[in-house]
Amino acid sequence: MNWKARLLRLDGLMPALDDRGRLAWGTLADAPEEAELVFLGFDRTDGGEKACFAAVPPRGDATPRLSNPQLWSLMVTLAPDDLALYGGARSIVDWHARHRFCAQCGGDTKLAKGGWQRDCTSCGANHFPRTDPVAITLVEHDGKLMLGRGKGWPEGRFSALAGFVEPGESIEEGVAREVFEESGVRIRDVSYVASQPWPFPSQLMIGCHAYADDEEVTMDETEMAEILWFTRDEIEAAFAGAPSAPFHKPVEQAIATHLMRWWLAR
């Protein structure tokens, strides 16, 4: 056993924190018996080189889902580098825990390639961690942005419209379909802005901008609570935290916030 290696301490899928609020680490001896170890990379911050791992719980142990309040709390609390490391570790550990069996033959699978692959012990099929593309789009018309509030969101919390890109779609097609399904608005001139990993559990957020042909909204009431158009002044007020602002911006770490800030700076 490599006693210099570090083990990311997890409570289910929640991170353990030290007294400074940073990610807590142990040694490989802290891993549960029969746990599989995923290699996360090397820590070279102190001039040395320590291998870092996360443990996949033994078969039968539950890996509970994060609730939205837990997720928002983590995003605000964790330092950016800790959040990035934890997010990747959480996603890969969750994937391993949910893919114990082969999708081709139903046989047992085992961890391979340092934890970035699972191999079937029966038919030999290789399985790889999934990444699900999600397009999130700022829709603009006549100097205003269309933002939405999803069902179950806090009152006043608005964000850009988003949805999964489906098999066979380009990003542009996925953007147009998702925006139309949620708002009834036709869009054009889709352009890519930025991306963000969102490993809760395995999304890749693809940030886009598009123009609408008009502002007539026909909202999908099964998914959305509100869809409204906001002026530049209203969005600036929300980012300034003004009491008169008509909505609350997303959390700072969300790609929707970065997209709106990019739009305001244009």
In terms of Cβ atoms closer than 10 Å to its own Cβ (0-12, 13-18, 19+), residue 6 is buried
Query: H or E stretch including 174?
Result: helix 171-183
Scanning the structure block, which residue is given the tokens 């026909």? 218
Is residue 147 domain-shared with residue 87, that is, in the same domain? Answer: no
- Tell me whether residue 126 is in a domain: no
Is residue 145 domain-shared with residue 81, that is, in the same domain? Answer: no
Please give the tally of structural domains in the chain.
2
- Tell me whether residue 124 is in a domain: no
- Tell me whether residue 41 is in a domain: yes
Confidence class for position 200, pLDDT limits 50, 70, 90:
confident
**In this structure, what token pair is assigned to residue 227?**
């869809």
- Tell me whether residue 119 is in a domain: no
- Give tens-digit pLDDT for 234-245: 999 999 999 999
Query: CA-based Rg of the chain, rounded to a whole angstrom?
Result: 21
Is residue 165 domain-shared with residue 235, that is, in the same domain? Answer: yes
pTM: 0.88
Is residue 166 domain-shared with residue 241, that is, in the same domain? Answer: yes
Is residue 150 domain-shared with residue 252, that is, in the same domain? Answer: yes
- Tell me whether residue 199 is in a domain: yes
- Give tens-digit pLDDT for 102-161: 999 999 999 999 999 999 999 999 999 999 999 999 999 999 999 999 999 999 999 999
Is residue 255 domain-shared with residue 139, that is, in the same domain? Answer: yes
Confidence class for position 68, pLDDT limits 50, 70, 90:
low
pLDDT over 90, % of the chain: 76
Q: State yes or no: pLDDT of 46 exceeds 80.
A: no
Confidence class for position 64, pLDDT limits 50, 70, 90:
low
In terms of Cβ atoms closer than 10 Å to its own Cβ (0-12, 13-18, 19+), residue 210 is buried
For residue 88, give its domain range: 6-98
- Give tens-digit pLDDT for 172-197: 999 999 999 999 999 999 999 999 99
Is residue 169 domain-shared with residue 235, that is, in the same domain? Answer: yes
Distance CA 138, CA 103 (A): 37
Is residue 62 domain-shared with residue 177, that is, in the same domain? Answer: no
Is residue 58 domain-shared with residue 145, that is, in the same domain? Answer: no
- Tell me whether residue 122 is in a domain: no
